[in-house]
Amino acid sequence: MALTPLIAGNWKMFGSRAMASRFAEGLTPAALPTGPDLLICPPAALVGLVASLFAGRGVSVGGQDCHAKAEGAHTGDTSAALLADLGARYVIVGHSERRADHGETNATVRAKAMAALAAGLTPILCVGETLAERDAGQAITIVRSQLQDSLPDGATAGAVVIAYEPVWAIGTGRTPTVADIAEVHAALRAVVGDGVRILYGGSVKPGNAAEILAVANVNGALIGGASLAASDFLAIAAAAPTA
């Protein structure tokens, strides 16, 4: 089954109102590729503004994280329902920076993915091995168990997106070989079946996007650094194969 690729940007803790306006100005009809779905996940405080700026410009908006509970006394956290109310359609859960900085376990990630689904958002569920795990030959075992233990109940095809992001490739300029990416994506496909988009993330740039996006079972990309400028983000999107 041909899946429409998803090209998703994660601005992490970067961005400002001015930067969001500049980005929106770059989203001209002529610059926008018609094939892939496009998504930007700004910091939570910018989600509402970015949703307004991008309205009608062909790029969806998502959150970078949500709380596992629908609402409550959780100072500083953001609910999935609020993200949806601000105009988000997706939310990243289980990014390795959240797992490392905030001690998020597979159980936490699973609860967040279920909260996202309950709020009508599509969770983008991230998995990925560390360099030590890859060097020990455990990459497949680790990502498979991360996925199995964090997949939400009742996740029908199309309701979730998976992102394979080797921890050692994020922000480092290093990427796995296409053979390694293909091997991991095939293992993840065996868990989720057809109909679920599996993105690759980790140092995707305009220069390597075409090669990575052409790998079997790669249905798009999750992009950090190269999503901060509309020109780089759109150059990557233009490299996506048409479904």
- The residues annotated with a catalytic role in the active site are 95, 165
Question: Where do we find the tokens 């041909």?
Answer: 2
Contacts of 75 (CB under 8 A, 6+ apart): none
Which residues, 5 to 34, sit near ligand PEP by CB under 6 A?
10, 12
Contacts of 146 (CB under 8 A, 6+ apart): 94, 106, 127, 128
For residue 202, state whether it binds ligand PEP (rule: CB under 6 A): yes
For residue 176, state whether it binds ligand PEP (rule: CB under 6 A): no
For residue 223, state whether it binds ligand PEP (rule: CB under 6 A): yes
Largest CA distance in the chain: 47
In this complex, which beta carbon is closest to ligand PEP, that of residue 81 or of residue 96? 96
In this complex, which beta carbon is closest to ligand PEP, that of residue 128 or of residue 152? 128
For residue 128, state whether it binds ligand PEP (rule: CB under 6 A): no
For residue 146, state whether it binds ligand PEP (rule: CB under 6 A): no
Is 95:165 a contact under the CB 8 Å cutoff?
Answer: yes
CA dihedral 204, 205, 207, 212 (to 10 degrees): 20
Task: Write out the two tokens for 131.
Answer: 């360099």
Which residues, 72 to 111, sit near ligand PEP by CB under 6 A?
none
Instruction: Give the total of residues touching ligand PEP (CB under 6 A).
Output: 14
How far is CA 163 from its chain centroid? 6
In this complex, which beta carbon is closest to ligand PEP, that of residue 176 or of residue 224? 224
How many Å apart are CA 78 and CA 71, to the nearest integer? 8
Which residues, 148 to 167, sit near ligand PEP by CB under 6 A?
165
In this complex, which beta carbon is closest to ligand PEP, that of residue 81 or of residue 127? 127
For residue 175, state whether it binds ligand PEP (rule: CB under 6 A): no
Query: Which residue of this chain has its Cβ atom nearest to ligand PEP in the complex?
Result: 224
For residue 170, state whether it binds ligand PEP (rule: CB under 6 A): yes
For residue 42, state whether it binds ligand PEP (rule: CB under 6 A): no
Q: How far is the CB of 114 from ligand PEP (least distance, A)?
A: 22
How many Å apart are CA 190 and CA 216, to the nearest integer? 13
How far is CA 100 from its chain centroid? 17
How far is CA 68 from its chain centroid? 18
Kindly list the residues in this chain that would bind ligand PEP in the complex (CB under 6 A).
Answer: 10, 12, 165, 170-171, 201-204, 222-226
